[in-house]
């Protein structure tokens, strides 16, 4: 079945042909904005492979190589770096955010901006772990333009990669950061204010959803609930909660 995006791609491709014919005939093309012309000049999006056999991939390195310079969804167009994820392949705890931001896109590493520094403080000062002991990644691996939420189709195309990452690492706990990632993994009905702090599961692995660190930076009152959620994770992992953390 042809998806709405494929239909649109076909319409745009037809428009491009028409414009080329106008030019060849020496006619002035119809007045289109510079933005529209730039869009029409882009390379077509590579079709999504229907036979992605990820189950045979057994390591994170193999998965990263398989993803390669991915063009499976439109997010590849604006990225500087694909942000695969980083940390221990044997991590007991995996953090999942929604998408790389500006700094992550520039460097190619997850959670390295201001929100990332807060996450690192939670991991190191709060939980008493090292950042390299856990694994940190996102639902989509390329930065959405202007940091908008990833679209449903972009999430659907990229999500199998995250699923395989999680299946390979097989952590004891997943901590989901924020509404967008929680809805991608737990379903559209997830409501961050009412459902955070409650255990859920993904791929049979216990999941603790909490606020995104960027939200905590904007709303310092969210610090306490995040710390409560983190303490639940620590209890599950058998980590000692330090009084002065
Ligand atoms: S977001 Fe995911 S599916 Fe889209 S281009 Fe990047 S790696 Fe590929």
Residues 69-107 have pLDDT tens digits of 999 999 999 999 999 999 999 999 999 999 999 999 999
User: pTM of this prediction?
Assistant: 0.81
C-alpha 29 – ligand 1 centre gap (Å): 34
Q: Using a 6 Å cutoff on CB, does residue 142 contact ligand 1?
A: yes
Tens digit of each residue's pLDDT (9 = 90 or more) over 136-160? 999 999 999 999 999 999 999 999 9
Q: Using a 6 Å cutoff on CB, does residue 157 contact ligand 1?
A: yes
Nearest to 137 by CA among 167, 124, 151: 167
Nearest to 65 by CA among 157, 161, 203: 161
* Burial class for 205, CB neighbours closer than 10 Å (0-12, 13-18, 19+): middle
Residue 42 confidence (pLDDT): 54
C-alpha 234 – ligand 1 centre gap (Å): 32
Annotation: CATH topology of 57-237: Uracil-DNA Glycosylase, subunit E (3.40.470)
C-alpha 12 – ligand 1 centre gap (Å): 21
Per-residue pLDDT of the chain (245 residues; tens, 9 = 90+): 445 555 555 555 556 556 555 555 666 656 666 555 555 555 444 444 544 689 999 999 999 999 999 999 999 999 999 999 999 999 999 999 999 999 999 999 999 999 999 999 999 999 999 999 999 999 999 999 999 999 999 999 999 999 999 999 999 999 999 999 999 999 999 999 999 999 999 999 999 999 999 999 999 999 999 999 999 999 999 999 876 56
Residue 51 confidence (pLDDT): 43
**In the chain, ranges of CATH 3.40.470.10 domains:** 57-237
Q: Using a 6 Å cutoff on CB, does residue 63 contact ligand 1?
A: no
Residue 15 confidence (pLDDT): 61
C-alpha 140 – ligand 1 centre gap (Å): 6
Q: How far apart are CA 178 and CA 52, in angstroms?
A: 28
Report CA-CA distances (Å) from 1 to 9, 106, 162, 245. 14, 37, 25, 54
């Amino acid at each position: 079945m042809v998806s709405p995006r494929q239909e649109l791609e076909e319409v745009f491709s037809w428009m491009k042909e028409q414009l080329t014919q106008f030019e060849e005939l020496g006619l002035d093309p119809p007045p289109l904005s510079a933005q529209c012309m730039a869009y029409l000049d882009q390379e077509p999006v590579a079709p999504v492979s229907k036979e992605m056999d990820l189950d045979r991939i057994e390591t994170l390195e193999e998965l990263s190589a398989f993803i390669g310079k991915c063009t499976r969804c439109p997010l590849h167009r604006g990225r500087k770096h694909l942000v695969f994820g980083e940390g221990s392949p044997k991590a007991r705890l995996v953090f999942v955010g929604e998408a790389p931001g500006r700094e992550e896109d520039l460097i190619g590493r997850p959670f390295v901006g201001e929100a990332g520094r807060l996450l690192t403080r939670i991991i190191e000062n709060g939980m008493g772990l090292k950042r390299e002991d856990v694994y940190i990644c996102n639902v989509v691996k390329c930065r959405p333009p202007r940091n908008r939420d990833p679209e449903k189709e972009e999430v659907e195309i990229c999500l199998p990669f995250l699923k395989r990452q999680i299946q390979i690492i097989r952590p004891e706990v997943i901590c989901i950061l924020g509404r967008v990632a929680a809805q991608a993994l737990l379903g559209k009905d997830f409501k961050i204010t009412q459902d955070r702090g409650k255990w859920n599961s993904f791929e049979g692995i216990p999941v603790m959803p909490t606020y995104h660190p960027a939200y905590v930076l904007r709303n310092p009152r969210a610090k306490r609930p995040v710390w409560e959620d983190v303490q639940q994770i620590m209890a599950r992992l058998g980590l000692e909660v330090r009084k002065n953390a």
